[in-house]
Amino acid sequence: MISFTTNQWAILVLVLVLGWLLGLASRSGGAKWKRQLEEERAERAAIVAERDELRARIEGSNARIADLERRVPPTSGLGAGTIAAAASGRTDDLSLIDGVGRGGETRLNELGYHRYAEIAALSDRDVAALEGRLGAEPGLIARERWREQAAELRAGRRL
């Protein structure tokens, strides 16, 4: 068993008392940290609320765009641009992109997209606009990797 001298006991008690005093002193600084934590929580809640509001506005806008586009008289899918592109041999089979299909290819052709290169070169802003014009859920093109698939098909690799 360990035995302590009187001096060692005195030092041990002194260290314990000093630790206790420092602990009491540091509790007053805890209010500052609690206040900062509450401020950060409030800021985060505001950011989340703003994000949710923006998502709701985007979904509403996409629904409105889809509704307006449904009101436009349907075309046969053979608009002037589609006919000209087909006649010149400047079209790719966009239905090979997973998630597009024949109906999607017709719709993309009506919107002016005929080549894999055009799909592969879409910027994020163009993708968002295209999703809105198609009435698609935001993020669909990225999730289904249309741009990557179009680049692979353009390079001659089959999916």
Give the model confidence (pLDDT) of 142-155 as tens digits: 899 999 999 998 88
Looking at every residue in the chain, the average pLDDT score rounds to 84
pLDDT above 70 for 115: yes
Q: Token pair of 61, please?
A: 């806008």
> What confidence category does residue 56 fall into, taking pLDDT thresholds of 50, 70 and 90?
very high
- Among residues 44, 71, 98, the one where a domain terminates is 71
CA distance between the termini of the chain: 76
How many alpha carbons fall within 13 Å on the CB side of residue 130? 26
The range of the structural domain enclosing residue 89 comes to 80-154
Instruction: Mark whether 57 and 84 lie in a shared domain.
Output: no
- Among residues 39, 71, 103, the one where a domain terminates is 71
Instruction: Mark whether 12 and 53 lie in a shared domain.
Output: yes
Judge contact between 131 and 138, C-beta under 8 A: yes
Instruction: Mark whether 107 and 62 lie in a shared domain.
Output: no
User: Is residue 159 situated within a structural domain?
Assistant: no
Confidence (pLDDT) at 129: 87
User: pLDDT tens for residues 16-42?
Assistant: 999 988 887 776 666 788 889 999 999
Instruction: Mark whether 91 and 54 lie in a shared domain.
Output: no
Tell me the C-alpha distance between 154 and 159, whole Å: 11
User: Is residue 1 situated within a structural domain?
Assistant: no
Domain count, the chain: 2
- Among residues 51, 71, 91, the one where a domain terminates is 71
Angle ∠(35,36,40) on CA atoms, nearest 5: 120
Instruction: Mark whether 88 and 143 lie in a shared domain.
Output: yes
Looking at this protein, which amino acid is placed at residue 14?
A: L
User: pLDDT tens for residues 90-113?
Assistant: 788 888 888 888 888 889 888 888
Instruction: Mark whether 60 and 109 lie in a shared domain.
Output: no
User: Is residue 98 situated within a structural domain?
Assistant: yes
User: Is residue 26 situated within a structural domain?
Assistant: yes
